[in-house]
């Protein structure tokens, strides 16, 4: 069975490696893929939002399953476009339609949705250019800190946590009037700050039921002990010790199940991953955000822990049998460490020659921001590799991961050495 993965990061490399383990996986296509996926499938020059070329590729190559990695094509309606073609009526699309992807594509939509279906989240109000004066009045008196979120997609940069009311007023004006995030901040959600510890929970949905995947915790700040600027993600760990049976029961009953019921009530047939960004406030889970996809780098920690055949899982999605799927999970801990270009998330230099990838033993290496230049593998992005190691506990897993992270070298490489240690 031929399969297409849309995307080019470490997440997509992790999916590619896992899918290729299945005897049911025929030719794997990637749009566009990266140097790490070259040996696993057919990389193409097709961009993630070039829907016409993706549609042609699927038809010409008899592709049966499409897995959409990143949020942009989902929010732009890749599923709607593909399923509108009568030739593709049996295509399994792992990813929601445009309406379902609004869970991630519009913070205002997701907050209204949570309010309507009684899903615990921070209290909020939404403002736009028309209501900016009441917005200024509101944030100037709001308890502190206060959280401001651009309504639309902002590549993970659209959240501002203001420590003073003056800062909040300035941020609101910047976002709405100065269009700091373009159209994405034409509307801004202002919400209460929740204090607690974060965890990411993933459910794969088939429009009826769902399959719960292993949870993970990600590390967004560039510096050790969670200091410095926010990044796309510096590492992840799975499982997360505090997400025990009691906590996960609350997550299922208070969050996952009402979300699935809510989606059905809204007439949304949601096929794909829901990423619940949660915060545990004294043991009670609240939703910080929904994403309509798997996380990166969480995927690189979660997917290798799944022992079941991923093609079987996607086939079960196609026939709405996910709630009956018996997922087999590796009990060991996986830690993922992201190797970044020095300077990231600010300016950084590209084009340095990378060595040591082939010397890594007992860890998985996923490419993210690499490219071949004159035959040499070089860094081409901020996040360059995600490396995943395993162990019987976090310390043991991290030892294997950090050993692999040291083995790969290039000029100005940087990585955090403390991923997961806050949970020990
Ligand atoms: P988001 O893009 O919505 O995930 O927000 C980015 C990060 O901001 C989250 O991972 C949290 O660390 C933080 N954050 C967002 N909303 C809140 C909130 N209501 N209370 C506390 N922290 C928040
Ligand atoms: N690691 C967070 C995300 O993928 O959005």
Residues 315 and 355 both lie in one domain: no
Q: Which residue's entry shows tokens 């959600």? A: 189
Q: List 206's β-bridge partners, or say none.
A: 271
Domain boundary among 161, 192, 223: 192
Of ligand 2's listed atoms, the one at least distance from the Cα of 296 is 4
Q: Which of 147, 191, 192, 281 to mutate to test the pocket of ligand 1 (most atoms within 8 A of CB)?
A: 147
In terms of domains, do 169 and 243 share one? no
Does 103 contact ligand 1 (Cβ within 6 A)?
Answer: no
Token look-up 């094509």 returns: 73
Termini Cα distance of the chain: 42
> Same structural domain for residues 245 and 315?
yes
Residue 118 counted as domain residue: no
Decide the pairing of beta strands 413-414 and 333-341.
Answer: antiparallel
CA distance 303 to 9: 14
Residue nearest to atom 18 of ligand 1 (CA): 193
Q: Which of 144, 146, 288 to mutate to test the pocket of ligand 1 (most atoms within 8 A of CB)?
A: 288
- How would you classify the pairing of strands 2-7 and 63-68? parallel
The answer to whether the beta carbons of residues 357 and 372 sit under 8 Å apart is: no
Query: Which ligand places an atom closest to the C-alpha of 198?
Result: 1
pLDDT at 55: 98
Whether the ω angle into residue 183 lies within 30 degrees of 0, i.e. cis, is: no
Domain assignment present for residue 208? The answer is yes
The closest of 280, 351, 318, 297 to 204, measured between CA atoms, is 318
Q: Are 278 and 288 in contact (CB under 8 A)?
A: yes
Beta-bridge partners for 230: 221
pTM: 0.96
Using a 6 Å cutoff on CB, does residue 281 contact ligand 1? no
* Same-domain check for residues 290 and 237: yes
Enter the tokens of residue 384: 């360059």
Q: Which of ligand 1's atoms lies nearest the C-alpha of 191?
A: 19
185 and 262 share one domain: no
Domain that holds residue 415: 333-423
Give the position, in ligand 2's atom list, of the atom nearest the Cα of 295: 4
Supply the CATH number for residue 240's domain.
3.30.470.20
DSSP H helices, 21-61, are 51-60
CATH of the domain at 170: 3.30.1490.20
Q: What is the signed CA dihedral for 55, 59, 62, 66, rounded to 10 degrees? A: 10
Paired tokens of 389: 């190691």
Q: Does residue 273 fall inside a structural domain?
A: yes
- Ligand 2 centroid vs 297 CA: distance in angstroms? 7
Q: Is residue 112 part of a domain?
A: no
The β-bridge partners of 388 are: 336, 364
Q: How far apart are CA 408 and CA 175, in angstroms?
A: 40
Residues within a 6 A CB radius of ligand 2: 156, 218, 233, 291, 295-296, 298
pLDDT tens-place values along the chain, 424 residues long: 999 999 999 999 999 999 999 999 999 999 999 999 999 999 999 999 999 999 999 999 999 999 999 999 999 999 999 999 999 999 999 999 999 999 999 999 999 999 999 999 999 999 999 999 999 999 999 999 999 999 999 887 889 999 999 999 999 999 998 899 988 999 999 999 999 999 999 999 999 999 999 999 999 999 999 999 989 999 999 999 999 999 999 999 999 999 999 999 999 999 999 999 999 999 999 999 999 999 999 999 999 999 999 999 999 999 999 999 999 999 999 999 999 999 999 999 999 999 999 999 999 999 999 999 999 999 999 999 999 999 999 999 999 999 999 999 999 999 999 999 999 9
Residue that finishes a domain, picked among 146, 173, 192: 192
Nearest-CA residue for ligand 2 atom 4 is 295
Q: Residues 294, 403: one domain?
A: no
Tokens of 12: 């997509």
Residue to substitute in 103, 161, 188 for testing ligand 1 pocket (most ligand atoms within 8 angstroms of CB): 161
What is the distance in A from the centroid of ligand 2 to the CA of 291?
8
| Number of domain units in the chain | 4
Main-chain dihedrals φ then ψ at residue 18, nearest 5 degrees? -70, -45
Residues 215 and 185 reside in one and the same domain: no
In a domain, 212, yes or no: yes
| DSSP letter (8 states) at residue 323 | G
Q: Are strands 124-128 and 187-192 parallel, antiparallel or unpaired?
A: antiparallel
Instruction: Please report where in the chains the tokens 């009670």 appear, as a residue.
Output: 284
DSSP 296: T
221 and 306 co-located in one domain? yes
**Backbone angles phi and psi of 180, in degrees to 5:** -55, -40
- In this structure, the answer to whether residues 129 and 185 fall within a common structural domain is yes
What residue owns the CA closest to ligand 2's atom 2?
A: 295
Domain finish residue from 298, 324, 350: 324
Give the Cα separation of 7 and 48 in Å (integer).
6
Shared domain for 221 and 315, answered yes or no, is yes
Q: Are 74 and 99 in contact (CB under 8 A)?
A: no
Query: Looking at residue 156, what is its pLDDT?
Result: 76
- CA distances to 231, 339, 379 from 411, rounded to whole Å, are 20, 12, 9
Q: Determine whether the shortest distance from the Cβ of 159 to ligand 1 is under 6 A.
A: yes
Residue 117 lies in a domain: no
The CATH number of the domain holding residue 342 is: 3.90.600.10
| Residue to substitute in 156, 197, 289 for testing ligand 1 pocket (most ligand atoms within 8 angstroms of CB) | 289
CA of 109 from ligand 2 middle (Å) equals 19
Q: Residue 411: inside a domain, yes or no? A: yes
Assign residue 53 the CATH number of its domain: 3.40.50.20
Measured from the CA of 293, which atom of ligand 2 is nearest?
Answer: 4
Q: Which residue's CA lies nearest to atom 16 of ligand 1?
A: 288
Distance 159 CA to ligand 1 centre (A): 7
Do residue 344 and residue 306 come from a single domain?
no
Residue 23 Cα to ligand 2 midpoint, Å, equals 30
Determine the Cα–Cα distance for residues 231 and 340; give it in Å rounded to an integer.
Answer: 10
Structural domain contains residue 104: no
Distance (Å) from CA 394 to ligand 1 centroid: 25
- Residue 194's nearest CA partner among 259, 289, 114 is 289
Q: Could you please report the per-residue DSSP string of 100-112?
A: HHHHHH-HHHHHH
* Co-location of 320 and 252 in the same domain: yes
């Amino acid at each position: 069975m031929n399969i297409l993965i849309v995307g080019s990061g470490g997440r997509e490399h992790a999916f590619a490696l896992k899918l290729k383990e299945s005897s049911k996986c025929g030719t794997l296509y990637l749009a566009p893929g990266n140097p790490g996926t070259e040996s696993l499938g057919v990389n193409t020059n097709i961009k993630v939002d070039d829907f016409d070329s993706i549609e042609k590729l699927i038809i010409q190559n008899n592709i049966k399953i499409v897995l959409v990695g990143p949020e942009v094509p989902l929010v732009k309606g890749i599923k709607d476009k593909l399923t509108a073609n009568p030739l593709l009526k049996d295509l399994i699309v792992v990813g929601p339609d445009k309406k379902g992807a609004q869970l991630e594509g519009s913070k205002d939509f997701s907050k209204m949705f949570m309010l309507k279906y009684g899903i615990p989240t921070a209290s909020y109000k939404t403002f736009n250019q028309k209501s900016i004066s009441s917005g200024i009045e509101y944030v100037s008196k709001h308890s502190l800190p206060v959280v401001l979120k651009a309504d639309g997609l902002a590549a993970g940069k659209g959240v501002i946590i203001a420590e003073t009311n003056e800062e909040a007023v300035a941020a609101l004006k910047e976002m709405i009037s100065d269009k700091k995030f373009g159209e994405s901040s034409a509307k801004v959600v202002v919400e209460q700050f929740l204090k607690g510890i974060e965890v990411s929970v993933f459910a794969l949905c088939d429009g009826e039921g769902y399959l719960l995947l292993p949870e993970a915790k990600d590390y967004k700040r560039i510096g050790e002990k969670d200091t410095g600027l926010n990044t796309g993600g510096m590492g992840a760990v799975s499982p997360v010790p505090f997400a025990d049976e009691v906590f996960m029961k609350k997550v299922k009953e208070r969050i996952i199940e009402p979300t699935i019921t809510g989606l059905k009530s809204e007439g949304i047939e949601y096929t794909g991953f829901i990423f619940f960004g949660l915060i545990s406030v004294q043991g009670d889970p609240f939703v910080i955000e929904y994403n309509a996809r798997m996380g990166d780098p969480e995927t690189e920690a979660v997917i290798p822990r799944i022992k079941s055949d991923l093609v079987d899982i996607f086939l079960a999605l196609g026939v709405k049998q996910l709630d009956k799927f018996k997922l087999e999970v590796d009990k060991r801990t996986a830690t993922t460490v992201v190797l970044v270009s020095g300077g990231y998330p600010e300016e950084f230099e590209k084009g340095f020659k990378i060595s040591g990838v082939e010397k890594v033993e007992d860890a998985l290496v996923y490419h993210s921001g690499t490219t071949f230049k004159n035959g040499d593998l070089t860094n081409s992005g901020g996040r360059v590799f995600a490396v995943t190691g395993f162990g019987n506990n976090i310390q043991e897993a991290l030892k294997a991961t950090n050993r692999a992270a040291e083995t790969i070298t290039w000029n100005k490489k940087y990585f955090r050495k403390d991923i997961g240690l806050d949970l020990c």
